[in-house]
Every structure is written in structure tokens, then in C-alpha cells.
A and B are shown apart, each in its own frame.
Chain A
């Protein structure tokens, strides 16, 4: 770790010097420092993994988060399950990303790379220093316990094995686009070159964040047992914030690429995204805000606070100094243009980010201003954010339909007629079947509208290829997507987002009942779809498995009298290697999912130690759409990322954009 500290320091200092004077030996030294840094931190990480796997309980971290009977997969996931290990994980992944950025980036950006090495090394330096001085996973105990404390049962779940690292990957990879932005500012190379260099990094980072957040929702849903997947907890909010600003950046960067506009805004957005990725970690670990996810309080928060202030000041000063060089190359020509809708899309995304941040911080603000503590929970966030979210959903459909620069009335009519009609038909149908929830009707109608816009784009594209090239529809579809992957991959991502909104709408119709049932007794619950579910308690069995003692309650489920199957919910009492109970018992929900609704059964406990069981039965409509929306979103992201995504047609359009920006500039000059 000390070697990593020195290498990170070297990489930062030499990187900045090499960036300024471009001396080849210094440039090379900065590059090699990133490789060496990654290598050293990989060795440190392997050392921790070996200690975990070999149950070296003399290492405090190993003793705190594992035990002899912990399954191997969770022993490995304990690497990032605790504060100190997660800091090392962050450092090693960032150092690896930093090395990959040096290795994979085209030589065209050679003059940016020393600065990129400097920024990534500086951020790694911060994490290594914090790990060394405030949260060191290699600290040894003065004695060796015979067994460790074990991992929190709620972290012993497959979702928890993959959710944190993927979310971390998202947070961490944001550093690379940020490093390129700083490099562009420092080197004064403020053309679109740096944007091309980071295009894939930004999409990868956004995808990691999206997958990490979705897996977090899945983990909460299957493991925490409350039947929901998003509770607006400060830590959930912290992961959502950089996702929002990164999404805004992914859209606004297109305006800069096409029209040479929004240069200042894009710099601010990428800086803000990086800031929020660190800020999320700060609020998780500093203890300034109460959260169920909070790590144990430690001096680590002070380190993060200092680093956050440094980021704001350094990035702010740098952007301010380069302001004159960040002037737009062209002017916006019409209120009714794709640029304008993207601007409003940015406004809403950043607006939601602000409202989430505002709500998250408001308890602290209230205490400072009034001296009174308040709670800002889900009712507040839902009330404030649902209308903004719906406006954003509408823009998801509107944006891609409007032409760049200026849209004519005829163009608008042709583009919007079918999707708007689709949305209105769905609204009418929902009203006809008796739905009266305003937001649900709005969300589902807008979802239909957006799906209409996406389908229309695909149908027209396939039709055009069929007419122009005589291709059959399947081939036309494949080539349409294959030759313009960024655009059609984006549409697929939008489809995934629509599926998320459909799933969120289902939350308005959740129904639930609690019941205590003796074996053979039943309870009925009516679903929003009109079905009547009958839950019959079969009995409770107890057995030992792995590192726990399980109490499983079984229920036979019937829908409108027709047998659906047997479902099981469990209470798990984890035990240490001596068979002693460790941690509080955890609950495993029984879940059966289909397109319409999830049957969600929670065994709450037994009455007076008998087989009479207390249950909560919940019917959660449309949850399936969330997980498959996530899969669609990832598929769209992969299409966008696939090599060779920049087709000839796209390059030509891109060139047309530049040509337009040049003429636009001359027109502005003429006007001036």
C-alpha cells in the first residue's frame, strides 16, 4: 500500500508536468506509473483475498466480516463488504481503469493522456491514502480469534455479491471521462476530440451505474422482505444522483458533437457527475445522514469532505479560467428543435437530481435553520418527483421525433400523429376499465406514446430499407440497427426506461394482507387484475443447511380456485462454526413472478412456537417489467457500444452537423 501511495504520488506529479511540457520521457513515465500502480494494487488486493480465503483471523478485517463456515462466494464478497475492503476495492478498480484508459485510448489523444494519468493517479492517491491512514484492511489484531464474526446475513445473497461491485464500477469509471475533461481543459484542446475519446467510457460507466442500481433494487426486493424495491433511502439516492447527471451528459454531449454547443454545460455536467459519485460515498460513510446502508462511522468522512472541497474548487477554477474558450460554435435556431428538447431533458434530469439531493439534505438543512429535525421519506420524494419524472418520460418520446435545428409543422404532424393517438387510446382504455389513479393513467399513456415513437422509428427505418434496397424485413431490421447502432441502441435503451416506468406504476396498485394461519387454514386476497388468490398454510419445517438453521413455512397458492403451486418463505438463523446463533434472524420472501404481478409471501414468525404461522401476503403488480426493463436497457447499451458503431451514414451526418455549425457561425458573424 505504501508503494501504491508513492506510485500514485509520482503519477500525479509527473503526469501534470508531462502534460505541460510534453517531454516524451516524462509522458512515458506517467503512463508507466499508471500500469505499475494498477499492478501493485492488484497484488495488495490478492493479499487480502488470500487472507480472507485462508481465514487469517489475525487480520482484523477478516475477523470482522467472515467466519469459518461462511460459503466461499460470500467470503470473497467480504472483500468489498466492509468499509476498509471497499476502499481498497475502489482504489484497485480505479487504478485498473486508469491503466486501461492509457492502454486503449487512440494515439490521437496523446497530448491529453499525461493529464489523464495525473488525474486518475491523484484520485487513486486519495483512496490509497484514506485506506492507509483511516481504513486499513491489513491491520492485525494483538491476538488471533478462533473464528470470525461472520458476514451480515442480508449480505449473504447472490444479489449482494454482484450489486456492490457493479455499482462501484459505475461510480469509479466516472473518473475516466472526468479525467479527460480536465485534460481537455488543462491542455486547452477543447474541440470535440476529448468527447470522442470518452464516448465508450461514458456509456460503460452509465451502464454499470444502471445495472448496479437495478441489481440493488432486486436485492432489496428479494432480501429485505418489505415487498418494495426503492425506499428513497439516502444511499439509494446517492447512487441515483450521478446516474441522473450522467444521463443528462449522454444527451447534451450529442448537441456538442453535432452543433458545437453546450461546451460549458458539458464540462459542468461531467464535473458534477464525478463530484456526486464521490459525494454518494461521503454520505454513506461519514454518518452525516442516517441510512440503513451506512457503514460504521469513522474518520473517513473528513477525508472525503476535504477531497470534495478540493474537487469543487479545482474544477470550478479550471472551468472558470477556460470559459472564453468554451463558447458555442453555433446558435440554436428554433424552439422546436431536437437541441431545445435535449436542453429541457437536461433541465428535468438535473432538476430531479436537485430535488433528490434537496430532499436528502433537507433534514440537515432544517436542523441548521430551525433546530428541528424532520424526516424526508418516500411520501415526499414521490410527491415531488413523480410529476417531473412523467415530464421526462414525455420528453423521452418527444426528443427523438423532432428534427435537429428546426422542425416544420408538417414534419411534426407526421411524426407525432401515430404515437399521440396510441397514447390517447391507451388513456381511454384505462379510463374505460375503471382506472382512476391520475399518475398511473398518465404514466401508462405516456409509456404507450413513447413506445409508439420508438416503434414508428423502427418501422419507418425498416420500411425505408425495404423500399430502397429491396431487403426483407428481418435483414432490413438487422442492418438498420447494425449500421446506426448509437441511434437504435439508444431507442432500445429508451424502451428499457419505459419498462421501468410501467413497473413503477404497478406500485400504486399493491395489495397486501396479514394473516395468522394454522395448517390447513386459508386466506383470500383480491388482486388489482380482478383475480382472487387463496393462500393455504401447509406447515412449517425446520432444518440445518450451510451456515444457518432454517425455518421454512409453506403455502399452497390458488388463483380463482386454480392451483398455482406451493411457495415457501423462510426465517434464517445464521450460526457460527460452533453452532451459536450469530446476528438477528433474517427473512427470505417467497416470490412468484409473471408479467401481470408478483405473489410475494413473507413468513413473519410463528404463534407461540407452534406451526401456526404469521404471514404477510402481497400482490405486487408489474414488478417483472423492472427486471426485464433492466435487461432491455443493458441490451440497448451493448448495441450502442458494439465496435464499429460509427457507420458511414452517421459519420456523414456528423460531418453535416459540423458543416451546419460552420455556416451557423458565419451566419452569426454576419448577424453581428
Chain B
């Protein structure tokens, strides 16, 4: 694959532009001591150097609660560290960093994003109002059905026990102790 001087100039310029984006207003100096790639244009989106902000646990925890709005369904942290073709999550990361630098708390940062992008920017609905249904309906449904099931089983097993006591049980003429002993012996032989 030919690699002309003109290409080198173009690629150097192209590589500098994203560096400006990633690093904000401080363009990076090109380090001439490092070998250039043969085809940087085929090595994915050019990246800037990693700063402390990228690994900051607080920033990561906030970004994990924010959804990247590019349509990938991932949170901002996962998207910016995974989908290296996405330009949205790095921009959202820069917004988070800017808000952190302003001294906002995690909740305040989330509120700022909600104000800008709507509630759908959160990875999970806020626990308030109608959203409570999202959180509590499954648990409530299981609890209610479970309680009803338990009540039904308790009543039915009571009826069967009464029938057994009246002599019509599966094995009549057997005391509860004898039935338990039989069950124990049978379980030992089961294999």
C-alpha cells in the first residue's frame, strides 16, 4: 500500500484533530520519539492520552448510570471504553468531567443530564411516581401469587390430612409416626 509524503501530512493533521477534541483546549505535542503506524487511518479512531479522569471511580460511577444517546443501549462508561467508533459517549464523558470540575455532586450531574436529554438518559428509571411500578410490580406479583399459593396448599393439605385421619387416606391404618418411618426407609432405598 503506497504511503506518500502528502498522505503523511494529511494523516498527521487528521490525527491531531481528535486529539484536540479529546483533550479539550490543550492540543498534544506529537512525540517524535515514537514510531508512527504504517496505516494509522486503518487503526480505528485516533485516541488521546488517558488522563486521571478516565479512571476516576466517581466519574465512572456517574457514567455507569448514564445512557449513551447514540442508540447503542450501553451506559456512557461502557460505550466510551468499548465502542471506539462512537463519538457520543466521549462527548458525554467530557460533559461529566466538566460538571465534576464545577464541583457538582453525582445527583446534580444526573439532574443536569436529565434536564438536557430527558429521563431516558438514566440507565434505570428514577424510583418515583409511576416508575415505582417498574420496581415493585414483579416482586409484588410474585409475593401475592406466592402467598395465595401457600394459602391454597395449606388448605388443601389440611383437607387431605383430615381425609387420611378419617381412614380414607392413601395408606389407611397407619399412624403419622409410621408414615414418617416408611417415608424415611423408602428414601434410603430410592437409588
Contact = CB atoms under 8 A, between A and B. Distances in A.
A380 B124 contact: yes
Among B11, B153, B162, B166, the one with the most A-chain Cβ atoms within 10 Å of its Cβ is B153
A515 B50 contact: yes
Contacts, number: 282
A358 B134 CA distance: 7
Contact of A608 (B28, B42, B157, B183): B28
A655 interface: no
Contacts of A355: 138-139, 142
A292 to B, nearest CB: 6
A88 to B, nearest CB: 28
Interface residues of B, number: 89
A99 to B, nearest CB: 39
A468 to B, nearest CB: 9
Contacts of A334: 157, 160-161
Contacts of B71: 290
B179 interface: yes
Name A's interface SS: mixed
A614 B50 contact: yes
B120 interface: yes
A348 B141 CA distance: 11
Given A374-B122, A465-B191, A408 B160 contact: no
Contacts of B40: 606, 609-610
A325 interface: no
A549 B42 CA distance: 7
A607 B191 contact: no
Contact of A372 (B46, B119, B123): B119
A519 B156 contact: no
B138 A384 contact: yes
Nearest to B152: A332
A605 interface: yes
A358 B85 CA distance: 32
Interface in B38-79: 38-50, 54-55, 64-65, 67, 71-75, 78
Nearest to A348: B142
A370 interface: yes
A459 to B, nearest CB: 10
Given A333-B157, A366-B130, A377 B138 contact: no
A388 interface: yes
Interface string B125-153: 10001110011011101100110011001
B82 A602 contact: yes
B97 to A, nearest CB: 14
9 contacts: A228-B78, A233-B73, A335-B157, A369-B130, A406-B179, A542-B43, A608-B30, A667-B163, A667-B164
Given A331-B159, A333-B161, A340-B153, 12 more contacts: A224-B82, A332-B157, A343-B153, A351-B141, A358-B137, A362-B134, A375-B123, A377-B123, A380-B125, A573-B43, A664-B170, A671-B166
